[in-house]
Structure 1
Amino acid sequence: MKPATAADWVSGARLRTLPLAIAPVFLGTGAAIVATGAGQFHWVRALLALIVAFCLQIGVNYANDYSDGIRGTDNNRVGPARLTGSGAAAPRTVLIVALSFFGLAAVAGLLLVIATQQWWLLLVGAVAIAAAWLYTGGKRPYGYLGLGELFVFVFFGLVATLGTTYVQAGTVNLESWLAAISIGFIACAVLMVNNLRDIVPDKASGKRTLAVLIGSTAGRAVFCVFLLAPFLTVGFFSLFYPLAFFTFFVLLLALPACLITVTGRTAGELILALKLTSFAGLGYGVLLGLAFAL
């Protein structure tokens, strides 16, 4: 096997998941502007929050590559080849890269703590990094126990959105809570369709994801609930923020993703649904966040 190329490392970062890091920051920043008043935009803190989210997302992707690879979970995967599982990169190298991104997230988070003087946020950051590692790492990874969706809901929904609002406004409001829950559901949808794609090899390797536990048919239905329920929030916010109505245009991505997931049978179809879902999350976060801000 030839050594991993730069393109392989970029692929290993799983760029299609990065919208999950961007969307909560847009939503949290928009909610913070509502809380502090028009024109009160702490762009440095917003940027640091984005760096934390980006680095955590990339770090957990590489950590997942490493942990699944050394367990042999990725040996028969149906999606793109992984660095560790394919042998393109040494496990230790992938681990170092994963830990490096966690370290970058910690540095950006520390700068946020210093800026806000809210030292208790150090504990939140430490728990987030530990949870990111233990998703597939350690002796009993909770990602193998059907708890992956709970992880992404809490950390890529609640913590990312509410944390972004808090470090800018010093408080959280109804906008941030409802937005956090909504984007958390979309993050769960991304993970669900990803695990539906891998349901056969995951079952064979003993990786008990939620998709494996409830089965393919129920998993597809749950995916649609995760992805479409957040638009109820859009309807509510449209009563108070007229621009929020434009977030309904994201259904042009979400509805095809649901149709493909419900009817699709091949890995390629589910990969397309994954991409559509990820970009739906990005569109949701950007459009609703701008509706708050403007």
Structure 2
Amino acid sequence: MQPQTITSQSGFQAPSEKRWKVWWNLLRPHTLTAAFVPVFIGTALALYETGIDWPMFLAMLIASLLIQAATNMINEYYDFKKGLDNEHSVGIGGAIVRHGVKPQTVLQLAFIFFGIATLLGVYICMNSTWWLAAIGTACMAAGYFYTGGPYPIAYTPFGEIVAGFFMGFVIILISFYIQTGTVSSTSMLISIPISILVGAILLANNIRDIVGDKENGRKTVAILVGRKNAITLLAAMFIISYTLIVLFIALDYASVWSLLVFLSIVKPLSAIKGFSSNKSNVTMMPAMVATAQTNTIFGFLLGIGLVIGYFVS
């Protein structure tokens, strides 16, 4: 029996996949750890101050995952609308161009996710402070305007900074605050390496897409500094992140168990080697994946180290 095909928006005939897999890939699940990790770390830090309010933790985690997923969908929608995506594009995206999902459906689903995240945000605010409503709204606005609106953030040199700030610094501090009712210098410092590694994911993506982005008028950091310097910058971001953990331990801002993050060191090394030795979009994909895995494994091990440090101290 011949596999069925689905006609995409461009008329491209693509083999059908299980529908659940199409929708699952639309969420870009490999990026969702960028939402889980900061919530986990912010909550782990709160252990040192108070007991954990698990309903608040779950509300924050689900809201963060929904905002990240919605941001991915908006990115898919606008990349299609602006002609950046086609059936031959490299990456996990492609619900619109390869699987025939209607663009408006993708956008509507993104706003539904934002709506559910807002309801969860109301619950969080009712049990903490309504000032978080403004911060949550800013997070969703950043998610939308990253690729949406007349002046998308992704088209500027500020994409890495914005993503790192909101997906690292802000989420860690909110996760810490809703448990403790305060923000500490430790929580701010610990958020820095995570923010850097979230930004590294975007930089890796922009290194991979440097040719296509340049053709479409983007002015990313990778384009402005050039491929070689962008890879050097990525390596520097990795080095700074690991070095900061050692510094925080030396200054007693983190448990010695935080050294567990060095178990992930193979991933950034693989990423830099991959980008340095490959130049095509396809062959650079493993390096980009390794960069995302660096954030995931580094963040998870840091959180584990913080939890172990609390229980053995």
**Greater CA deviation, 94-103 or 267-276?**
267-276
Report the alpha carbon displacement of residue 262 of structure 1 after superposing the two structures with TM.
2.4
Report the alpha carbon displacement of residue 86 of structure 1 after superposing the two structures with TM.
4.1
| Unaligned stretches of 5+ residues in structure 2 | 1-5, 9-15, 309-313
Corresponding residue number in structure 1 for 2:147 = 136
Q: 1:81-136 CA distances to partner (integer Å, 9 max, x unpaired)?
A: 522344721111110111111112212221111121x0111011111111110111
Distance in 1 (CA, whole Å) between partners of 2:195 and 2:283 is 24
Task: Output the amino acid matched with 2:145.
Answer: L
Alignment of 1:94-243 (within 5 A): 94-116=106-128, 118-239=129-250, 240=252, 241-243=255-257
Corresponding residue number in structure 2 for 1:264 = 278
TM-score, normalized by length of structure 1? Answer: 0.92
Question: Measured at CA, do residues 81 and 125 of structure 1 come closer, stay the same or move farther in structure 2, by a change above 3 Å?
Answer: closer
Distance in 2 (CA, whole Å) between partners of 1:188 and 1:216 is 16
Report the alpha carbon displacement of residue 228 of structure 1 after superposing the two structures with TM.
2.6
Q: Is the 1:65–1:85 Cα contact (8 Å) retained in structure 2?
A: no
Distance in 2 (CA, whole Å) between partners of 1:41 and 1:145 is 39
Which of these residues, 15, 18, 33, is aligned with residue 19 of structure 1? 33
Distance in 2 (CA, whole Å) between partners of 1:31 and 1:132 is 26
Distance in 2 (CA, whole Å) between partners of 1:65 and 1:81 is 7
Q: Runs in 1 of length 4+ with deviation above 4 angstroms?
A: none
Q: Is the 2:76–2:93 Cα contact (8 Å) retained in structure 1?
A: no
Q: Does 1:29 align with 2:29?
A: no
Corresponding residue number in structure 2 for 1:60 = 71
SS state of the match for residue 185, structure 1?
helix
Q: Does 1:291 align with 2:293?
A: no
Report the alpha carbon displacement of residue 77 of structure 1 after superposing the two structures with TM.
3.3
**Greater CA deviation, 5-14 or 151-160?**
5-14
Task: Output the amino acid matched with 2:24.
Answer: V
Distance in 1 (CA, whole Å) between partners of 2:23 and 2:221 is 28
Q: Is the 1:23–1:284 Cα contact (8 Å) retained in structure 2?
A: no
Q: Is the 2:208–2:288 Cα contact (8 Å) retained in structure 1?
A: no
Corresponding residue number in structure 2 for 1:2 = 7
Distance in 2 (CA, whole Å) between partners of 1:26 and 1:165 is 9
Give 1 or 2 for the bigger CA radius of gyration: 2
SS state of the match for residue 74, structure 2?
helix
Structure holding more helix per residue: 1
Which of these residues, 283, 293, 296, is aligned with residue 282 of structure 1? 296
Distance in 1 (CA, whole Å) between partners of 2:301 and 2:92 is 30
Number of residues of Structure 1 aligned to a counterpart in Structure 2: 290
Distance in 1 (CA, whole Å) between partners of 2:54 and 2:273 is 38
Q: Is the 1:79–1:267 Cα contact (8 Å) retained in structure 2?
A: no
Which has the bigger relative contact order, CA under 8 A and spacing at least 6?
1
TM-score, normalized by length of structure 2? Answer: 0.87
Question: Measured at CA, do residues 85 and 195 of structure 1 come closer, stay the same or move farther in structure 2, by a change above 3 Å?
Answer: farther
SS state of the match for residue 7, structure 2?
coil
Corresponding residue number in structure 1 for 2:311 = none
Q: Is the 1:73–1:207 Cα contact (8 Å) retained in structure 2?
A: no
Task: Output the amino acid matched with 1:35.
Answer: E
Question: Measured at CA, do residues 87 and 202 of structure 1 come closer, stay the same or move farther in structure 2, by a change above 3 Å?
Answer: farther
Q: Is the 2:242–2:262 Cα contact (8 Å) retained in structure 1?
A: yes
Report the alpha carbon displacement of residue 237 of structure 1 after superposing the two structures with TM.
3.4
Alignment of 1:65-104 (within 5 A): 65-75=76-86, 77-86=89-98, 88-104=100-116
Q: Is the 1:56–1:132 Cα contact (8 Å) retained in structure 2?
A: yes
Distance in 2 (CA, whole Å) between partners of 1:180 and 1:213 is 27
Q: 1:14-34 CA distances to partner (integer Å, 9 max, x unpaired)?
A: 111111111101211111112
| Unaligned stretches of 5+ residues in structure 1 | none
Distance in 1 (CA, whole Å) between partners of 2:23 and 2:239 is 33
- Alpha-carbon RMSD: 1.8
